[in-house]
Amino acid sequence: MTFDILKAIILGIVEGLTEFLPVSSTGHLLLVQRFFGFADDEFGKTFAVLIQFGAILALLSIYFGRLWKLLIGFFTDPTSRRFVFGVLLSFLPAAVVGALAHDFIKSQLFNPWLICFMLIAGGGVLLWIDVLDLKPRYTDVMTFTMPMYFVIGLMQCVSMIPGVSRAGATIVGAMLLGADRRSSAEFSFWLAMPTMAGAFAYDLYKSHAQMTSGNSMLIAVGFAVSFVCAWIVVKTFLGYVQRHGFSLFAWWRVVVGAVGLIALAVGK
């Protein structure tokens, strides 16, 4: 039982630290679950879904004041109303593709070899975007154009391939469309709210048959750890990328992907 709690803590840390960083939380969780030996275990899948809710709540708790202001302003402020519609427009492609391709993605793309290759490739993309001589035209997420919101949403669909990273795809898309680093990263938070909530609800519906009270302690531990770690990341990420860029996350992806490939090759 003690070792199971330790695994729950480690998985909670992995989920909380990686969910909002451009490193692919799904990829990291699947690799760690494989290392622990329950990547294909039904409880392992259910556990991964439930601890994700801890990261969602961390984001919502930090942005609660701004969410409330948007809710109130939706009926009186055209800028707030336009931004809400922009986020929903950006969410739409992932909602459609996710609903149509959910089973295919889960059954065909959750492959550790593919995850490792995507981690390395995504690291290369982040290094590339960091050195481009971009001329940002947008520094505020509420001033993005409606076509820009939609194209960022299309870019997010690429992250349904495990190892790509939802945050990474969103950030790269926004920067290529003229947003600066900070607003690109911040919009990835806003887009995460409906995307993660929708994915969580859908996965929870799909896996509800595996819910039991016997593992409630492990779920509670993973949930709490995920919440705390995600809260720290959300509080510090924007300031960090504004000052230092994405090279740290890029090289982390490359190292994890390379180590993963070596482990898979040795373990064959």
Structural domain spans, the chain: 2-267
The model's pTM is 0.91
On average, the pLDDT of the chain sits at 89
Exposed, middle or buried, 22 (CB in 10 Å: 0-12/13-18/19+)? buried
Dihedral sign from CA coordinates of 152, 157, 163, 164: negative
Query: Please, which pLDDT band fits residue 243 given cuts at 50, 70 and 90?
Result: very high
> How far apart are alpha carbons 89 and 86 in whole angstroms?
5
Query: Please, which pLDDT band fits residue 237 given cuts at 50, 70 and 90?
Result: very high
Query: Please, which pLDDT band fits residue 99 given cuts at 50, 70 and 90?
Result: confident
pLDDT in tens, 117-130: 999 999 999 999 99
Query: Please, which pLDDT band fits residue 3 given cuts at 50, 70 and 90?
Result: low
pLDDT value at 184 more than 70: yes
> How far apart are alpha carbons 183 and 186 in whole angstroms?
5
CB 178 within 8 Å of CB 136: yes
> How far apart are alpha carbons 230 and 56 in whole angstroms?
8
Please give the average per-residue pLDDT across 240-247, as a whole number: 93
> How far apart are alpha carbons 115 and 27 in whole angstroms?
6
Please give the average per-residue pLDDT across 247-268, as a whole number: 92
Determine the pLDDT at residue 39.
56
Whole-number Cα distances in Å, 53 to 19, 24, 71, 72, 261 = 11, 16, 22, 25, 29
Determine the pLDDT at residue 212.
56
Determine the pLDDT at residue 2.
63
